[in-house]
Amino acid sequence: MIERTVRVTVNGRRVEKTVEVRKTLADFLRDDLDLTGTHLGCEHGVCGACTVIVDGAAVRSCLLFAAQMDGHEIETVEGLANGETLDPLQEAFREHHGLQCGFCTPGFLMTLTCLLRECPNPSDAQVREAISGNLCRCTGYRNIVTAALTAARSRAASARP
Partner 1 sequence: MPAIGRSVRRLEDRRLLTGRGKYAADFRLPGLLHGAVLRSPHAHARLGEIRSKAALALPGVVAVVTFDDLGDVGRIPTRLGHQAGNVVCLQRPLASEKVRYVGEPVAFVVAESRYLAEDALDVMEVDYEPLPAVADARRSVEAGTPVLHDAVGGNVATTLHTRKGDATAAMAAAHVRVRERLAVQRHTGIPMETRGLTAAFDAGTGMLRLWGVAKIPHFNRRVLADLLGHPEHLIQFTELEVGGGFGVRGEFYPEDFLVPWSAKRLGRPVQWIEDRREHLMAANHSRQQYHDVEIGFDRDGRIVALVDHFMVDLGGYIRTHGVVVPELTAALLPGPYRIPHYTAEARCVLTNKTPTGTYRGPGRYEGTFVRERLMDIAARKLGVDPLELRRRNFITPDEMPYDVGGGALAQRTVYDCGDYASALDKALAALDYESARREQAEARRQGRSIGIGVGFLVEKAGLGPWEYARVEIDATGHVVVYSGVASVGQGIETTLAQVCADELNVSPEKITVVHGDSARVPFGVGGFASRGASVALPAALEAARKVRAKIFRVASTLLEAAADDLVLDDGAVHVRGVPDRRVTFRELARAAVPGPPDMEPGLYAAHFFEAPMMTYPYGCHAAVVEVDVATGTVKILKYAIAYDIGKAINPMIVEGQLVGALAQGIGGALLEELVYDEQGQLLTTTFMEYLVPTVMEMPESTEVRILEETPTPLNPLGVKGAGEGGSSGCGAAVANAVADALAPLGVSITALPLSPDRLSALIRAAGDSR
Residues of the shown chain interacting with partner 1 in the complex, contacts defined by CB under 8 A = 20, 22-23, 30, 34-44, 46-47, 49, 76-78, 80-81, 86, 90, 93-95, 97, 99-106, 109, 128, 131-145
Q: CA 35 from chain center: how many Å?
A: 12
Q: Is 81 helix (H, G, I), strand (E, B) or coil?
A: coil
Q: How far is the CB of 51 from partner 1 (least distance, A)?
A: 12
The number of residues in the chain equals 161
Q: Which is nearer to partner 1, 40 or 63 (CB)?
A: 40
Q: Which sign does the torsion angle of CA 100, 134, 128, 75 carry? A: positive
Query: Do 142 and 100 touch, CB atoms closer than 8 A?
Result: no
Residue 6 or residue 39: which is nearer to partner 1 going by CB? 39
Whole-number Å distance between alpha carbons of 62 and 46: 10
Q: CB 161 → partner 1: shortest distance, Å?
A: 29
In the chain the first and final C-alpha atoms are separated, in Å, by 56
CA 62 to chain CA centroid, Å, is: 12
Nearer to partner 1, 71 or 142 (CB): 142
Q: Measured from the CB of residue 52, what is the shortest distance to partner 1 in angstroms?
A: 11
User: For partner 1, which is the closer residue by CB, 69 or 127?
Assistant: 127
CB of 100 to partner 1, least distance (A): 5
